[in-house]
Structure 1
Amino acid sequence: MISPELIQRINELSHKKKTVGLTEEEKQEQAKLYKIYLAGIRGQMKQQLDSIEFVD
Protein backbone atom coordinates (compact mmCIF):
# COMPACT_ATOMS: atom_id res chain seq x y z
CA MET A 1 0.00 0.00 0.00
CA ILE A 2 1.19 3.48 -0.79
CA SER A 3 1.47 5.52 2.38
CA PRO A 4 2.41 9.19 2.76
CA GLU A 5 5.56 8.06 4.59
CA LEU A 6 6.57 5.89 1.63
CA ILE A 7 6.14 8.76 -0.80
CA GLN A 8 7.99 11.12 1.52
CA ARG A 9 10.96 8.75 1.79
CA ILE A 10 11.05 8.22 -1.98
CA ASN A 11 11.09 11.99 -2.45
CA GLU A 12 13.85 12.43 0.16
CA LEU A 13 16.04 9.85 -1.57
CA SER A 14 15.34 11.35 -4.98
CA HIS A 15 16.31 14.82 -3.79
CA LYS A 16 19.47 13.50 -2.14
CA LYS A 17 20.37 11.59 -5.30
CA LYS A 18 20.18 14.81 -7.33
CA THR A 19 22.20 16.89 -4.89
CA VAL A 20 24.73 14.81 -2.96
CA GLY A 21 24.41 11.29 -4.30
CA LEU A 22 23.34 8.08 -2.62
CA THR A 23 25.27 5.44 -0.77
CA GLU A 24 24.97 1.83 -1.91
CA GLU A 25 22.53 1.09 0.93
CA GLU A 26 20.36 4.05 -0.04
CA LYS A 27 20.34 2.93 -3.66
CA GLN A 28 19.09 -0.49 -2.57
CA GLU A 29 16.46 1.12 -0.33
CA GLN A 30 15.34 3.37 -3.20
CA ALA A 31 15.00 0.39 -5.55
CA LYS A 32 12.96 -1.49 -2.93
CA LEU A 33 10.68 1.52 -2.34
CA TYR A 34 10.16 1.99 -6.09
CA LYS A 35 9.07 -1.64 -6.39
CA ILE A 36 6.57 -1.21 -3.55
CA TYR A 37 5.27 2.03 -5.08
CA LEU A 38 4.89 0.56 -8.57
CA ALA A 39 3.15 -2.54 -7.21
CA GLY A 40 0.68 -0.26 -5.43
CA ILE A 41 0.02 1.79 -8.56
CA ARG A 42 -0.46 -1.36 -10.64
CA GLY A 43 -2.88 -2.72 -8.04
CA GLN A 44 -4.90 0.49 -8.06
CA MET A 45 -5.00 0.52 -11.86
CA LYS A 46 -6.09 -3.12 -12.02
CA GLN A 47 -8.82 -2.49 -9.46
CA GLN A 48 -10.05 0.51 -11.43
CA LEU A 49 -10.05 -1.41 -14.71
CA ASP A 50 -11.84 -4.36 -13.10
CA SER A 51 -14.62 -2.06 -11.92
CA ILE A 52 -15.37 -0.81 -15.44
CA GLU A 53 -18.61 -2.17 -16.78
CA PHE A 54 -19.39 -2.09 -20.49
CA VAL A 55 -22.96 -1.31 -21.41
CA ASP A 56 -24.24 -2.09 -24.87
Structure 2
Amino acid sequence: MLSKEKINRINELANKSKKYGLTDKEKQEQQELRKDYLKNVRKSFKNQFKGMKIVDPNGEDVTPKKVKDLQKEDEL
Protein backbone atom coordinates (compact mmCIF):
# COMPACT_ATOMS: atom_id res chain seq x y z
CA MET A 1 0.00 0.00 0.00
CA LEU A 2 1.14 3.50 -0.76
CA SER A 3 2.15 5.54 2.27
CA LYS A 4 -0.10 8.28 3.57
CA GLU A 5 2.66 10.83 2.89
CA LYS A 6 2.84 9.88 -0.79
CA ILE A 7 -0.94 10.05 -1.19
CA ASN A 8 -0.98 13.47 0.48
CA ARG A 9 1.81 14.65 -1.82
CA ILE A 10 -0.11 13.43 -4.89
CA ASN A 11 -3.11 15.46 -3.74
CA GLU A 12 -0.97 18.53 -2.98
CA LEU A 13 0.58 18.47 -6.44
CA ALA A 14 -2.81 17.95 -8.10
CA ASN A 15 -4.28 20.94 -6.27
CA LYS A 16 -1.26 23.13 -7.00
CA SER A 17 -1.38 22.10 -10.66
CA LYS A 18 -5.00 23.23 -10.93
CA LYS A 19 -4.42 26.55 -9.19
CA TYR A 20 -0.96 27.70 -10.21
CA GLY A 21 0.76 25.13 -12.39
CA LEU A 22 3.82 23.05 -11.59
CA THR A 23 7.52 23.46 -12.13
CA ASP A 24 9.31 20.89 -14.28
CA LYS A 25 10.72 19.24 -11.16
CA GLU A 26 7.24 19.01 -9.61
CA LYS A 27 5.79 17.59 -12.83
CA GLN A 28 8.44 14.88 -12.80
CA GLU A 29 7.74 14.12 -9.15
CA GLN A 30 4.03 13.94 -9.90
CA GLN A 31 4.64 11.44 -12.73
CA GLU A 32 6.77 9.24 -10.48
CA LEU A 33 4.14 9.30 -7.73
CA ARG A 34 1.41 8.43 -10.23
CA LYS A 35 3.51 5.56 -11.54
CA ASP A 36 3.95 4.21 -7.99
CA TYR A 37 0.23 4.61 -7.32
CA LEU A 38 -0.81 2.75 -10.47
CA LYS A 39 1.70 -0.01 -9.79
CA ASN A 40 0.17 -0.43 -6.34
CA VAL A 41 -3.40 -0.50 -7.71
CA ARG A 42 -2.50 -3.11 -10.31
CA LYS A 43 -0.77 -5.27 -7.70
CA SER A 44 -3.79 -5.07 -5.41
CA PHE A 45 -6.17 -5.94 -8.25
CA LYS A 46 -4.02 -8.92 -9.26
CA ASN A 47 -4.00 -10.17 -5.66
CA GLN A 48 -7.80 -10.01 -5.56
CA PHE A 49 -7.93 -12.19 -8.66
CA LYS A 50 -5.53 -14.69 -7.14
CA GLY A 51 -7.98 -15.30 -4.29
CA MET A 52 -10.97 -15.76 -6.56
CA LYS A 53 -12.79 -19.04 -7.14
CA ILE A 54 -15.88 -19.34 -9.32
CA VAL A 55 -18.34 -22.14 -8.71
CA ASP A 56 -21.33 -22.85 -10.98
CA PRO A 57 -24.80 -23.77 -9.63
CA ASN A 58 -23.86 -27.48 -9.82
CA GLY A 59 -20.95 -26.91 -7.42
CA GLU A 60 -18.24 -27.34 -10.06
CA ASP A 61 -15.18 -25.11 -10.12
CA VAL A 62 -15.34 -23.00 -13.29
CA THR A 63 -12.56 -20.59 -12.43
CA PRO A 64 -10.96 -19.24 -15.65
CA LYS A 65 -7.60 -20.73 -16.66
CA LYS A 66 -5.84 -17.37 -16.42
CA VAL A 67 -6.87 -17.02 -12.77
CA LYS A 68 -5.80 -20.59 -12.00
CA ASP A 69 -2.44 -19.88 -13.64
CA LEU A 70 -1.96 -16.82 -11.41
CA GLN A 71 -2.81 -18.90 -8.36
CA LYS A 72 -0.27 -21.57 -9.38
CA GLU A 73 2.45 -18.89 -9.68
CA ASP A 74 2.04 -18.18 -5.96
CA GLU A 75 2.32 -21.86 -5.07
CA LEU A 76 5.74 -22.17 -6.70
TM-score of the two chains, using structure 2 as the length reference: 0.70
1:54 to partner: Cα distance: 2.0
Q: Verify: 1:47 aligned to 2:47, yes or no.
A: yes
Higher helix proportion, which one? 1
CA distance in structure 2 between the partners assigned to 1:49 and 1:8 by the alignment: 28
CA distance in structure 1 between the partners assigned to 2:44 and 2:3 by the alignment: 13
Q: Verify: 1:17 aligned to 2:17, yes or no.
A: yes
CA distance in structure 1 between the partners assigned to 2:38 and 2:52 by the alignment: 21
Give the counterpart letter for 1:10 in structure 2. Answer: I
Give RMSD over aligned pairs.
0.8
Highest Rg: 1 or 2? Answer: 2
1:5 to partner: Cα distance: 0.9
With CA pairs under 8 Å and 6+ residues apart, which has the higher RCO, 1 or 2?
1
Q: Which 5+ residue runs of structure 1 have no aligned equivalent?
A: none
Identity %, equivalent residues: 48
Q: Which 5+ residue runs of structure 2 have no aligned equivalent?
A: 61-76
Instruction: Give the number of aligned pairs.
Output: 56
TM-score of the two chains, using structure 1 as the length reference: 0.94
